[in-house]
Structure 1
């Protein structure tokens, strides 16, 4: 397979300045190889294939850590009423300002988080032949390995591979989950669901609505996990790890390692989300912005291509409704003569169909449903 990787890279690199370039042919060859980005790196390439080049990508020359923008919120004492009200207010403030924050003391041991990241890394660092068994884009068994969910829709691919898994309403059959991370995935599913449920309650309380409003709409039930692997990129100024985008669901819970690279759009500046060991990154998705009637913000974020020899690993859980025909729109309690509905109602099925037929291009679907 190394020969295939070299051929893909050489053919694309040789055409960087050619007028004739069959992008779809190169993309299909990459897809058929089932190598993933790591397979290209392992082949020893020194330049990235042309279809990974983002011609309009410009790294922010002065990114900022800005902890005042992306706060770290301590969940200690959340079971006490006085502390809970304060925590809900902090979370609400962060979501109204930017829609991103980190949480600590969430109840998941740091030792487990480290072990889980290691298990996901272990999956991606298996021999290509082993991972290729799971290389697919169809949901099928609920477990798949691929590179770039929007590979055939995007103008340029991004430098990452992904292990994707359905966590809820039910896990895949245990034998379908890769043995190298099976135990950790099962435990992570339970722990992420518990933290996600608590966050949903706090988010609702911050809006002044029934704390179970999101759970009643079954946003805790449909959970999808993605374990991203960002290997070393030989030309990180030409591509990205994940292109600028907003998340489609209600809520995203992210565990990242200490390598860094996640950035959030704040005004015209890209702000680094500095890794905090043991913390979970939380962000609002488009559907929660819609349901909150624009009280909470779903903002653009991206991941830079990894310039270091140490791979970056992150695991995200997307919380979404599992009712395809359910009608979504602003929560009724948030609509008033003073604050009329900003969005029309629509079905979850219509929304997800639109999301999965577009590229990750920074454009949010919220605009499509605005009144």
Structure 2
């Protein structure tokens, strides 16, 4: 039975469209010029796309599937010490949501990773199952490398200096969130995750083979069809600000499923807390003045959360807080 805290009003559950429009699937083994143009076009149009031949080895992907399932099946007593409702705790296991706009049908293990010095982070991760730390360490290292390469391709496409996104823009924590969406007894009355935009530069989602992710596009919800071994790439609000609105950050949500469980692994690159985010000077001109304020990243995260809460989860209203 669905808990009352997870039940949503019908107006918060508009159906997705049945459309011929699909997210672009970009083959990163193609020519560099072709790949960067495809990513730039997809970023402008959708804020989302999928990538294949991305450099994360298939063996690592299969190992992640195995250890994520093994962790899920561990006895409750082996995971009890990881549970926490404190969203300021870097490494924790929790249910419901990190959003204050409601509770949702999901469980999540969130782990923080630092680069350099990943070995220190690993010591804070779960010790069970046996290969957990080894596999997660390989995965986050390769996924982070993929994300940095995508950002470098964007630099080239936008005409920004080489390495523009290196350093403080991406040397904060890397968060790896493994999210389990169990079969839901009343899938039509709740969500796995509510409509939201990610706040950071870039998020990479390994979403398995069960559909559920939807992206808001041209006034409707667009279903994202899973592609085997692909990552879904999601550009966040920070990138929208840095590009002065050239790249869009799109709302997205996750539906529940009455019959099938779904697992996704979400890797998010974060800025240094003290980094001041704002439009890149190289993209500004008299005809294209800054549209967003300069804000320290830690304040940006806090103020966005506050604006989202005060607006009842209205993402557009929350983003307006940072516009000039």
TM-score, with structure 1 as normaliser = 0.80
Residues 264-306 of structure 1 show CA distances to partners (whole Å, capped at 9, x for unaligned) of 0111221111111111110110010000000000010000012
CA distance in 1, matches of 2:17, 2:45: 21
- DSSP 3-state at the match of 1:341: coil
TM-score, with structure 2 as normaliser = 0.91
- DSSP 3-state at the match of 1:108: coil
Q: Could you tell me which residue of structure 1 aligns to residue 15 of structure 2?
A: 60
Alpha-carbon shift at residue 173 of structure 1 (Å): 4.4
Residues 30-87 of structure 1 show CA distances to partners (whole Å, capped at 9, x for unaligned) of xxxxxxxxxxxxxxxxx211110111333416444633xx10001115xxxxx21121
CA distance in 2, matches of 1:196, 1:66: 25
Structure 2 counterparts to residues 220-299 of structure 1, below 5 A: 220-299=171-250
CA distance in 2, matches of 1:129, 1:335: 55
Alpha-carbon shift at residue 193 of structure 1 (Å): 1.6
Are 2:315 and 1:315 aligned? no
Q: Root-mean-square deviation (CA), in Å?
A: 2.0
Alpha-carbon shift at residue 250 of structure 1 (Å): 0.6
- DSSP 3-state at the match of 1:369: coil
Alpha-carbon shift at residue 316 of structure 1 (Å): 0.7
Residues 179-227 of structure 1 show CA distances to partners (whole Å, capped at 9, x for unaligned) of 3221111101210121111011011112111131111443154311110
Moved more, 120-129 or 287-296: 120-129
Distance 1:248 1:332, change over 3 A: same
Q: Could you tell me which residue of structure 2 aligns to residue 160 of structure 1?
A: 106
Q: Could you tell me which residue of structure 2 aligns to residue 192 of structure 1?
A: 143
Question: Is residue 160–residue 282 contact of structure 2 (8 Å, CA) maintained in 1?
Answer: yes
CA distance in 2, matches of 1:351, 1:145: 25
- DSSP 3-state at the match of 2:184: coil
Moved more, 233-242 or 102-111: 102-111
CA distance in 1, matches of 2:89, 2:135: 19
Q: Could you tell me which residue of structure 1 aligns to residue 319 of structure 2?
A: 366
- DSSP 3-state at the match of 1:130: helix
CA distance in 1, matches of 2:298, 2:81: 30
CA distance in 2, matches of 1:140, 1:301: 23
Residues 229-266 of structure 1 show CA distances to partners (whole Å, capped at 9, x for unaligned) of 00010000110000000001010011011011000011
Q: Could you tell me which residue of structure 1 aligns to residue 3 of structure 2?
A: 49
Are 2:296 and 1:347 aligned? yes
Segments ≥4 residues shifted beyond 4 Å: 356-360
- DSSP 3-state at the match of 2:166: helix
Question: Is residue 109–residue 278 contact of structure 1 (8 Å, CA) maintained in 2?
Answer: no
- DSSP 3-state at the match of 2:267: strand
Question: Is residue 16–residue 223 contact of structure 2 (8 Å, CA) maintained in 1?
Answer: no
CA distance in 1, matches of 2:167, 2:125: 29
Are 2:279 and 1:330 aligned? yes
Segments of 5+ residues of structure 1 without an aligned counterpart are 1-46, 78-82
Are 2:20 and 1:74 aligned? no
CA distance in 2, matches of 1:50, 1:119: 32
Segments of 5+ residues of structure 2 without an aligned counterpart are none
Q: Computing the radius of gyration over CA atoms, which structure comes out larger, 1 or 2? A: 1
CA distance in 2, matches of 1:292, 1:244: 23
- DSSP 3-state at the match of 1:113: helix
